[in-house]
Structure 1
Amino acid sequence: MTGILVLGVFIILAFLSVPILTAIIIAAATGVVALGFTDQLGIVSQQMLDGINSPTLLSVPFFILAGNLLNGLQLTDRIFRFANNVVGHIRGGLAQVNILASLLFAGISGAAVADCAALGTVEVKAMRERGYPADFAAGVTAASSIIGPIFPPSIPLLIFAFVANASVGRLFLAGVLPAIVLLIVLMTYVHIVSARRNFPKDPRPPLKEILLSAVDGLLTLLAPGIILGAMLTGFTTASEAGVLACLYAMALGIWYRTLNMKVLITAFRETAILSTIALLMIGFSACVGWILAFDMVPQRLAEFILGSIDAKWQFLLIYLMFLVLIGCVFDATAALIILVPIMLPIVDGFEIDRVHFGIFTVLTLMVGILTPPIGIALYIMMDVAKLPFEAVAKATVPFLIPIVIAVLLITFVPSISLFLPDLVYGAP
């Protein structure tokens, strides 16, 4: 009963637009009072410390810092130029560039919101100047931003690895092919729309220009490969890979001569703020998770679902719809930390691979940020494109069709996610 009370308080506060961190703290406090532990408040700090005492979580601030450093080093234009030279000559070329740049930028930021904010300004401006409707430019930018959280390195996948006790290396590898699947379905959809609406295309650039842009951006594009390679070869752990990412980002800044004290101060300040919020959220979420476990909520829910639903595909469909609703309202970090431990007994009961579970869970949560009327990506693009919310939402909703197709494909064909990790690490 206490677990249901805690979840109820958290959900109600979230729907009332109370900041997620505040909602988690109040929910945790409610649970402590309901359990009668008000004279043993040391339990709260103990659970919080246990919740963040993990080598995997140590890498989170470093990957956030690496992303902030790379974002401040003026690398966006290099990525955009290279993507434009590769696919800009296709019908609707700049829209295709938009999607491809999101995949390339994912290796820098690993976050959908960062993609919208950093690439959005450049992409929407360029598409408007070439005659694309502003709302379409905003829609394709928002839709392509969800590639980032499943392509390595990914902060949500790091959080999932910690919560589900899964391998970071396997999760990072598992995100590569699903990200490419998402890229293909979005580019196919844009090609169909562009042909029907006769969107412009740029002249095919000479091979020399393509090679020059590739060389210019090569060091940036190698970032995810270096991080993955260091982890897979055993040269670094996940935590050390985060440090390596920071060192690599600063080395790029020195090479391109864009690293200065202002970039460093801004990156460290933003990292301190984001890391503090993230770790506080993880700590209090761990406390909420302990309360739910104390009240045996995961076990009871597993018994109910496994006794009520016979087929795995039925559970998966219900779970996906639930994730979209959760993704509309909750921050991905909070959703993963609270939701995943509850679902793990059910996932294990249906014999779903945890790495595969992590990929489609993170991806489907990201669909929520595109879903009106609450999706945060829509509000970011409203500000970036200087358009009314209704225009951005109306332009983004059609992109949910190919995205849903990709989500279903990735969810019901586990080999898409598991092929690379099984190839490298062997089947578990």
Structure 2
Amino acid sequence: MTGVILFGGFVALVVLGIPVIRALACSAIAAFLYAGFGRTSFLVPQQILEGVDAASLLAIPFFIMAGNLMNAAGVSDRIFAFASAVVGRFRGGLAQVNILASLIFSGASGSALADIAGLGTIEIRAMRQRGYNADFSAALTIASSMLGPLIPPSIGLIVYAYLSETSVVRLFLATLLPGLLLAAMMMVNVAWLARRREMPREEPASLREIGSTAIHGIGALVSPAIILGAIFTGVTTATEAGVLACLWTLFLGWLYRSLTLRDIWNAARSTVTATAFIMIIVGFSALVGWLVAIQALPQALADFTLANTDSKFVFIGILSLFLLVIGCFIESVPAKIILVPMLLPVLDKFGVDRIQFGVLLTLALSIGIATPPMGVGLFIASKIANRPIENVAAAILPLMLPLLLLLVMIAYWPALTLWLPTLVMG
């Protein structure tokens, strides 16, 4: 019954429109009291404080700050200009630019919503001016932004690494190939749609123009290489790489003369707000994790699952569908915090690698930003494009094919996520 109050209560409150933080706090405290711990109420603040007292979580505010600074410093514009010069000449060229720009930006920000809020404004405006359908422009911006959680440094992966006690660097390596593969599949899908719908193409850029945009935006373009190179070579930890990303972006803002003190202040304020939201959830997750462990809920779930199926193939399929549904109702970070402590023992019994599951979980929940009723990305892109949400939601359906195909590949082809980290780290 404790599990029903904890998880059922949380889902019910979210569906009723209660903010995620309040829903998590109310359901956790209600389950805590029902389990008979009312006389030890001091454990609530104790577990919350212990939950956020982790050095690895320091990477989150730094990468959020880096993403905010990049948008304020005009890094997004330079990335878009370079991508347009490289692939704009093809049929549906600006649609391809949308994907390529998101791929580059993701390597420095690690956030889908930062992509939509920053690049999205530029991409949607440019595509509409060139005659692209407004709903399609907004839908593609949402779809391409999902490269953010997959291309390191991903904020969602840092949270998962903390919850599952796995290596952040190993997770970053595990998502690199799936992220690049997703970008390639998106480009192929868009090329097919562009021919069917006769989308416009841009005037071919000369080699001189491509070189000019590359030189103009060289600082922005090498940002992913600097950040990821520092992590993968062991020069910095993930947290130190977040600091490096902030310092590099500040340097770019000074170099481009595009970053004011007001911009830095606004970026810092947005960072504090976003970080506070995440940390409050992480704090309550420690209470949830403690309660789940005390009540032996993971073991009960493992026993129930094994009693109903002993097929790893069936289990992975059901798990993937379950995560897709959860992503429609709960945002990625709180969903991970609720689900990971419960699912890890079951995964271990079925022999599912925690690194593989982390990538699967991240992608499945990320798809939720494009689906009602939560659909945070859907709301942001619809507002930017000034289009009805239901229209954008319908336009994104054909763009979901690469995402769902990659989800199946990750679920049933472990080598896709495990080959690179094993090759590099053993």
Q: TM-score range by the shorter chain?
A: over 0.9
2:110 pairs with 1:125: no
Question: Whole-Å Cα distance in 2 between the matches of residues 25 and 374 of structure 1?
Answer: 19
What is the deviation of 1:411?
2.1
Question: Whole-Å Cα distance in 1 between the matches of residues 368 and 321 of structure 2?
Answer: 10
Name whichever of 236-245 and 382-391 sits farther off. Answer: 236-245
What is the deviation of 1:168?
0.6
Question: Which residue in the other structure is 1:400 paired with?
Answer: 400
Q: What is the letter of the counterpart of residue 240 of structure 2?
A: E
Deviations 1:51-78 (A, max 9, x none): 1121211211111111111121111110
Structure 2, unaligned stretches of length 5 or more? Answer: none
Question: Which residue in the other structure is 1:188 paired with?
Answer: 188
What is the deviation of 1:388?
1.2
Question: Whole-Å Cα distance in 2 between the matches of residues 240 and 402 of structure 1?
Answer: 33
Question: Which residue in the other structure is 2:60 paired with?
Answer: 60
Name whichever of 273-282 and 223-232 sits farther off. Answer: 223-232
Q: What is the letter of the counterpart of residue 266 of structure 1?
A: N
Partner of 2:8: helix, strand, or coil? helix
Q: What is the letter of the counterpart of residue 278 of structure 1?
A: I
Q: What is the letter of the counterpart of residue 419 of structure 1?
A: W
What is the deviation of 1:374?
3.6
What is the deviation of 1:373?
4.2
2:291 pairs with 1:291: yes
Deviations 1:186-210 (A, max 9, x none): 1111111110111111122111111
Question: Which residue in the other structure is 2:280 paired with?
Answer: 280
Partner of 1:39: helix, strand, or coil? helix
Question: Whole-Å Cα distance in 1 between the matches of residues 54 and 108 of structure 2?
Answer: 24
Over the residues paired in the alignment, what is the CA RMSD in angstroms?
1.3
CA contact (8 A) 2:68 2:114 kept: no
Question: Which residue in the other structure is 1:262 paired with?
Answer: 262
CA contact (8 A) 1:107 1:221 kept: no
Question: Whole-Å Cα distance in 2 between the matches of residues 372 and 334 of structure 1?
Answer: 17
Partner of 1:175: helix, strand, or coil? helix
CA contact (8 A) 1:14 1:329 kept: yes
What is the deviation of 1:25?
0.7
Question: Whole-Å Cα distance in 1 between the matches of residues 121 and 71 of structure 2?
Answer: 13
**1:141-180 to 2 correspondences below 5 Å:** 141-180=141-180
Partner of 2:406: helix, strand, or coil? helix
Question: Whole-Å Cα distance in 1 between the matches of residues 424 and 218 of structure 2?
Answer: 25
What is the deviation of 1:39?
2.5
Q: What is the letter of the counterpart of residue 169 of structure 1?
A: V
**TM-score, normalised to structure 1's length?**
0.96
Question: Which residue in the other structure is 1:44 paired with?
Answer: 44
Question: Whole-Å Cα distance in 2 between the matches of residues 252 and 417 of structure 1?
Answer: 33
CA contact (8 A) 2:110 2:151 kept: yes
Q: Quote the sequence identity (%).
A: 46
Question: Which residue in the other structure is 1:384 paired with?
Answer: 384
CA contact (8 A) 1:3 1:291 kept: no
Q: What is the letter of the counterpart of residue 343 of structure 1?
A: L
Structure 1, unaligned stretches of length 5 or more? Answer: none
Question: Whole-Å Cα distance in 1 between the matches of residues 259 and 128 of structure 2?
Answer: 31
Question: Which residue in the other structure is 2:329 paired with?
Answer: 329
CA contact (8 A) 1:112 1:147 kept: yes
Q: What is the letter of the counterpart of residue 141 of structure 2?
A: T
CA contact (8 A) 2:124 2:385 kept: yes
Q: What is the letter of the counterpart of residue 271 of structure 2?
A: T
Question: Whole-Å Cα distance in 2 between the matches of residues 153 and 210 of structure 1?
Answer: 27
What is the deviation of 1:323?
0.8
Question: Whole-Å Cα distance in 1 between the matches of residues 334 and 69 of structure 2?
Answer: 25
Partner of 2:146: helix, strand, or coil? helix
Question: Which residue in the other structure is 2:346 paired with?
Answer: 346
Name whichever of 271-280 and 208-217 sits farther off. Answer: 208-217
Deviations 1:147-178 (A, max 9, x none): 11111111000000000111111111111111
What is the deviation of 1:35?
2.0
Question: Which residue in the other structure is 1:95 paired with?
Answer: 95
Deviations 1:198-228 (A, max 9, x none): 1111122111111221222222122222222
Name whichever of 409-418 and 328-337 sits farther off. Answer: 409-418
What is the deviation of 1:304?
1.3
CA contact (8 A) 1:71 1:108 kept: no
CA contact (8 A) 2:81 2:213 kept: yes
Deviations 1:277-327 (A, max 9, x none): 111110012211211221111111011112322221211111111111111
Name whichever of 44-53 and 72-81 sits farther off. Answer: 44-53
Question: Whole-Å Cα distance in 1 between the matches of residues 92 and 47 of structure 2?
Answer: 52
Deviations 1:381-416 (A, max 9, x none): 211111112211110112112221121112221222
What is the deviation of 1:100?
1.1
Question: Whole-Å Cα distance in 1 between the matches of residues 414 and 32 of structure 2?
Answer: 40
Q: Closer, same or farther in 2 for the Cα pair 1:174/1:215, shift >3 Å?
A: farther
Question: Which residue in the other structure is 2:10 paired with?
Answer: 10
Number of residue pairs matched by the alignment: 426
CA contact (8 A) 2:147 2:179 kept: yes
CA contact (8 A) 1:104 1:221 kept: yes
CA contact (8 A) 2:331 2:374 kept: no
CA contact (8 A) 2:136 2:396 kept: yes
Q: What is the letter of the counterpart of residue 253 of structure 2?
A: G
What is the deviation of 1:38?
2.2
Question: Whole-Å Cα distance in 2 between the matches of residues 257 and 88 of structure 1?
Answer: 27
**TM-score, normalised to structure 2's length?**
0.97
Question: Whole-Å Cα distance in 2 between the matches of residues 4 and 366 of structure 1?
Answer: 25
